[in-house]
């Protein structure tokens, strides 16, 4: 068993990656179907839905498959604590809430026309195939309720050039979460489109050039890998591609196994670290490394400042990056950020709009669960994003403002009036609102798992095995260099000190009395 | 008059100095790993510490074999004979020029205090360091089969305790190496193998008073 595994591991990195690269490179060229030649895709298409109908003519199950995924429902029940999660209802520290802003935010929905709760989730033609399967020139941005922009998009061209998902298509949403490039995650931003080796050893365009789906290997349109309920611990060996195992194929271990270090004098020791550490802890030394800053803090309470003419303003830092926007408030940006570290078993619970909060202290919008030292948990790197956002001072709940919908005089971005924005937002969301509000400090955690650095850039031992190192304060592990027993040290150095004093005294006496020994 | 005794064979001298170098290396890197100093990068300190440890274990296994095949292990048999006289010498006699009360011979190289000290090193400090050190080194594969009270923290503490005891021994040992007839007598003997043994009884003393 061990031998087989070792053989597989030795075989894997070099040859398989090479082979994989070849397959990928040739796959794009050597597809057995040239979609540009398909009569069904020659158009004309008046509406985007007609493209979907054309797709469904051959890919009969595609819409049904997509409609069973969270990319479609934006809804998810936490298996651990039962709360209803998913983008549809969740609250975060960035744009706060999707609800009442669907017309804007649903540009990242894999569907057409979700503007409010009248959207028909059972209409197969509403599934947006091209959101993920375009190869360019398909422009779907905030404000069009998920429809592509008619002027900037040629539906016939986009349909004929349909293709595999890519870093661009996934990134069109996942790089821009929170309202801009790199804002939300910290380990996902547009720099990954043309990643170099230092930024991401797998996505390196000059090397393996992985697409997102290389790790997030999708079956029946269900994309594995989720931050909401993560796979924090994976003790399995490398997965054989094609083997249908009930495991998340997006973990590091799914390719590398759980004893990935083979060379060097520390290999065995490093492999033993996998009992306590996620791979990411050492191999992603910092995030937001690609030159795109991520938002580390967002203060909504200062939003709405206008200039003398009553116009919204922006303030920029020395590097020309926006750090204040009347629509949004103050930001703190971060690049090359050192993560925080905590024990995580994959289970995360969330504060929702129903949760009663304690506004006297910072509200933790999500909480990562784990047992320090436990077999079911590992030490993970996370981004901690701070927020300051509106809450109901009577009901003690976080509030969901309407911010992004123009034309009805209620959205904050267009009238800078919190009372109207909160009234409209909560009314549409069906949330009780007393009319009394203030701003409360919040925080939210994001797992760091992308932007994997090359081995030589991984953390050095001493960055954790030291006083005030990266894992200072992380309990549940004994770490030489960080941990020591003060009493034992006092005893030990006391003993050595006493012996030293003794011999110095003895030696001094011998020296003083040396004349009495003369002649011997 | 004095005579020269061939006290330390070539192997014993090699063993002694190799052991000295390795133990000092281990103390230096070990206290680096412990966080007492940061003169070495942690990973490098660990690598040197582990390498030196394996070398010392190898040397130790070889030395045990040597001691039993040559019968030299008997040098460390504890004795109370004349232990009082030797103790009195180091507390008082050494300062007033009294003769050393112990007559070194090839069959009995170590005085009773030395025997006790070396026996302590061999039976207490070394086993403590090696057992705790090997547990530490192979903790990943061993911890499951060890009793629950013996967690990594306790193993680390035992190893550190051993290191402190070794440090105390080393300080004492280095000092006493200078306490021969001249400060360099013992050290020379450990380098050349030959010790000048002064037969105090044969030396004429000037009449006192």
Q: ipTM score here?
A: 0.88
pLDDT at residue A502 greater than cutoff 90: yes
- CA proximity to A378, closest of A236, A280, A252: A280
Q: Given CA atoms A150, A151, A153, A154 in this order, what sign does their dihedral have?
A: positive
Task: Name the residue facing B161 among A467, A492, A510 (closest C-beta).
Answer: A492
d(CA B166, CA B30): 12
- At residue B5 the predicted structure's pLDDT band, cuts being 50, 70 and 90, is confident
- At residue A236 the predicted structure's pLDDT band, cuts being 50, 70 and 90, is confident
**Residue numbers in A near B157 (CB within 8 A):** 485, 488
Task: Name the residue facing A517 among B35, B42, B97 (closest C-beta).
Answer: B97
Task: Name the residue facing A520 among B41, B97, B161 (closest C-beta).
Answer: B97
- CA proximity to A75, closest of A54, A51, A99, A52: A99
**Residue numbers in A near B50 (CB within 8 A):** 265
Flag if B160 and A516 touch (Cβ within 8 Å): no
Chain A residues with CB within 8 Å of chain B CB: 265-266, 268-269, 271-272, 275, 460-462, 465-467, 478, 480-485, 488-489, 491-493, 495-496, 499-500, 502-503, 506-507, 509-510, 513, 516-520
Q: What is the mean pLDDT of chain A?
A: 91
pLDDT at residue B183 greater than cutoff 90: no
CB within 8 Å of A50: residues ≥ 6 apart: A125, A155
CA distance B169 to chain A (A): 8
CA distance B15 to chain A (A): 25
pLDDT at residue B169 greater than cutoff 60: yes
CA distance A482 to chain B (A): 7
To test the contact with chain B by mutation, choose from A496, A504, A511 the residue with the greatest count of B C-beta atoms within 10 A, namely: A496
CA distance B66 to chain A (A): 31
Other CB atoms within 10 Å distance of the CB of residue A468 = 7
**Residue numbers in A near B41 (CB within 8 A):** 460-462
d(CA A455, CA A198): 10
d(CA B153, CA A465): 15
pLDDT digits (tens, 9 = 90+) for A36-77: 999 999 989 999 999 999 999 999 999 999 999 999 999 988
pLDDT at residue B81 greater than cutoff 80: no
pLDDT digits (tens, 9 = 90+) for A308-335: 999 999 999 999 999 999 999 999 999 9
Per-domain residue ranges of chain A: 1-32
Q: What confidence score (pLDDT) does residue A85 get? A: 86
- At residue A12 the predicted structure's pLDDT band, cuts being 50, 70 and 90, is very low
Region A96-117: what's the mean pLDDT? 94
Instruction: Check: CB of residue B101 under 8 Å from CB of residue B201.
Output: no
Q: What confidence score (pLDDT) does residue B69 get? A: 93
Q: Which residue of B has its CA nearest to A465?
A: B42
Flag if B164 and A465 touch (Cβ within 8 Å): no
- At residue A11 the predicted structure's pLDDT band, cuts being 50, 70 and 90, is very low
pLDDT at residue A25 greater than cutoff 60: no
Task: Name the residue facing B35 among A461, A467, A518 (closest C-beta).
Answer: A467
pLDDT at residue B209 greater than cutoff 50: no
d(CA B163, CA B170): 10
pLDDT at residue A5 greater than cutoff 50: no
d(CA B205, CA B209): 12
**Which of A113-122, A363-372, B143-152 has the least mean pLDDT?**
B143-152
Region A454-472: what's the mean pLDDT? 95
Flag if A466 and B35 touch (Cβ within 8 Å): yes
pLDDT at residue A10 greater than cutoff 70: no
d(CA A253, CA A236): 7
Q: What confidence score (pLDDT) does residue A518 get? A: 56
Which CATH code is given to the segment(s) B2-202? 1.20.950.20
Q: What confidence score (pLDDT) does residue B198 get? A: 66
Per-domain residue ranges of chain B: 2-202
CA distance A261 to chain B (A): 15
CA distance B93 to chain A (A): 10
Q: Which residue of A has its CA nearest to B96?
A: A516
SS3 A135: coil
Terminal CA-CA length for chain A: 74
**Residue numbers in B near A258 (CB within 8 A):** none
Flag if B178 and A507 touch (Cβ within 8 Å): yes
Residue A351 token pair: 């504060």
């Amino acid at each position: 068993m061990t031998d087989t595994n070792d053989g597989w591991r030795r075989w894997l990195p070099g040859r398989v990656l090479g082979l994989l690269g070849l397959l990928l490179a040739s796959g794009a060229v050597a597809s057995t179907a040239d979609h540009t030649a398909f009569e069904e895709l020659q158009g004309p298409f008046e509406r985007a839905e007609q493209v979907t109908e054309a797709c469904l003519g051959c890919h009969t199950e595609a819409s049904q498959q997509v409609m069973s995924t969270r990319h479609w429902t934006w809804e998810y029940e936490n298996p651990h604590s039962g709360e209803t999660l998913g983008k549809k209802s969740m609250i975060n520290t960035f744009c706060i809430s999707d609800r009442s802003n669907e017309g804007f935010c649903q540009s990242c929905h894999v569907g057409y026309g979700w503007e409010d709760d009248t959207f028909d989730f059972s209409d197969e033609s509403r599934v947006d195939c091209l959101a993920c399967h375009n190869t360019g020139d398909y422009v779907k941005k905030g404000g069009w309720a998920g429809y592509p922009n008619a002027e900037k998009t040629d539906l016939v061209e986009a349909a004929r050039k349909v293709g595999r998902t890519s870093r661009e298509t996934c990134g069109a949403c996942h790089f821009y979460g929170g309202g801009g490039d790199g804002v939300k995650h910290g380990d996902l931003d547009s720099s990954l489109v043309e990643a170099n080796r230092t930024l991401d050893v797998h996505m390196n365009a000059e090397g393996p050039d992985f697409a997102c789906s290389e790790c997030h290997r999708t079956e029946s349109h269900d994309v594995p890998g989720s931050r909401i309920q993560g796979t924090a611990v994976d003790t399995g060996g490398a997965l054989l591609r094609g083997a249908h195992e009930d495991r998340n194929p997006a973990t590091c271990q799914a390719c590398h196994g759980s004893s990935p270090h083979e060379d060097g004098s520390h290999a065995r020791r490093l492999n033993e670290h996998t009992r306590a550490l996620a791979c990411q802890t050492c191999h992603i030394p910092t995030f937001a490394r690609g030159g795109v800053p991520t938002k580390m803090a967002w203060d909504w309470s200062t939003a709405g400042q206008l200039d003398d003419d009553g116009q919204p303003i922006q303030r920029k830092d020395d590097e020309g990056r926006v750090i204040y926007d009347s629509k949004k408030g103050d930001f703190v940006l971060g690049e090359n950020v050192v993560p925080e570290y905590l024990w995580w078993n994959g289970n995360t619970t969330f504060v929702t709009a129903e949760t009663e909060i304690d506004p006297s202290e910072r509200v933790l919008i999500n909480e990562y669960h784990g047992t320090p030292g436990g077999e079911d948990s590992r030490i993970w790197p996370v981004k901690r994003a701070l927020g300051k956002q509106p809450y109901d001072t009577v009901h003690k709940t976080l509030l969901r403002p309407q911010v992004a919908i123009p034309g009805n005089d209620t959205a904050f971005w267009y009238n800078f009036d919190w009372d109207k924005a909160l009234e409209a937002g909560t009314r549409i969301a069906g949330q009780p609102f007393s009319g009394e509000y203030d701003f409360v400090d919040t925080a939210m955690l994001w797992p760091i798992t992308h932007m994997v650095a090359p081995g030589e850039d991984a953390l050095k031992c001493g960055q954790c095995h030291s006083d005030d190192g990266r894992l200072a304060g992380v309990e549940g592990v004994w770490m030489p260099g960080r941990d020591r027993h003060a009493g034992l040290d006092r005893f030990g150095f006391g003993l050595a000190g006493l012996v030293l004093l003794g011999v110095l005294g003895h030696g001094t006496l011998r020296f003083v009395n040396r004349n009495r020994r003369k002649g011997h | 008059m004095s005579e020269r005794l061939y006290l330390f064979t070539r192997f014993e001298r090699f063993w002694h100095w190799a052991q000295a170098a390795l133990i000092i290396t281990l103390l230096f890197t070990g206290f680096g790993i412990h966080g007492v100093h940061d003169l070495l990068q942690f990973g490098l300190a660990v690598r040197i510490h582990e390498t030196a440890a394996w070398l010392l274990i190898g040397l130790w296994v070889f030395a045990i074999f040597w001691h039993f095949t040559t019968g030299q292990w008997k040098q460390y048999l504890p004795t109370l004979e004349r232990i009082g006289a030797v103790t009195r010498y180091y507390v008082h006699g050494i300062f007033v020029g009294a003769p050393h009360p112990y007559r070194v011979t090839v069959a009995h190289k170590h005085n009773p205090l030395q025997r006790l000290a070396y026996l302590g090193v061999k039976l207490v400090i070394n086993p403590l360091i090696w057992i705790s050190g090997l547990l530490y080194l192979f903790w990943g594969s061993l911890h499951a089969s060890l009793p629950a009270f013996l967690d990594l923290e306790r193993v680390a503490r035992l190893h550190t305790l051993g290191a402190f005891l070794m440090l105390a021994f080393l300080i004492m040992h280095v000092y006493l190496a200078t306490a021969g007839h001249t400060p360099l007598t013992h050290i020379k003997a450990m380098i050349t193998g030959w010790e000048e043994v002064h037969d105090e009884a044969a030396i004429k003393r000037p009449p006192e008073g």
